[in-house]
Amino acid sequence: MNKKLFLVGSVLTIVLLATLFYSTATEAEYRKTLYYGSSGQDVRVVQEKLRNWGYYTGAIDGYYAAKTFQAVRQFQTKNGLRVDGIVGEETWGALGEPVKPVTYQANSGGASGQNVYLLSQIISAEAKGEPFEGMVAVGAVILNRIQSASFPNSLAGVIYQPLAFEPVANGSIYNPPISGAVRAANLALSGWDPSYGCLYFWNPATATSKWVWQRSIVRRLGKHVFAR
């Protein structure tokens, strides 16, 4: 065999093996944030660990449903973690699995970072003091509007649509978002929708528009109702 061809082939083999190893290591090194409705291998990892430790009694099926949710909450309670049923950075760490958190970097300047920050600003202004699931739901409503033909097709367009959100009118949207709002924005952008596809939310105690009560209310979270 030609020595040059042999060397080239060997180098290519090493590169391919290194690439495969790196991809596998990267996938194993970091875990995704999981919540009710998630699915996939990471959910199986959680189910296996929690079943081995006596928290979970269901099937290892990779679906984050009611039994998995309750088991995660029990695990969080037992280990002094935030009891929200979400397998994020802290809970993954307690499970012995590292996770790469998705966070907004103030100086990133990237479009994705800007979207997280803008969404977290309106969540903070509209839902500060609300349950965390309610904060995510507010973010989800805004994202649902982007997909609806009845609203602007961009995040900024939806948020700054005239008369759409009081915090834009009174300027409170420009206050720095609370940390929970940034986390809620990340989860809403990753696909969690506790509003179940709603396009509207309001506080019944302060709402003055008769029109909103013509909408079909889907659920209530904290002080807000969510409707289609």
Domains of the chain listed by start with CATH number: 30-101 (1.10.101.10), 111-227 (1.10.10.2520)
DSSP one-letter code for 158? H
Give mean pLDDT, residues 45-72: 93
Residue 56 in this model has a pLDDT that exceeds 90: yes
Provide, rounded to the nearest whole percent, the portion of the chain with pLDDT above 90: 43
- pLDDT tens-digit profile of 192-212? 899 999 999 999 888 777 777
* pTM greater than 0.75 (yes/no): no
What is the DSSP track for 84-138?
Answer: SS-B-HHHHHHTT---------TT---HHHHHHHHHHHHHHHHHTTS-HHHHHHH
pLDDT value for 130: 95
Radius of gyration of the CA atoms of the chain, in A: 22
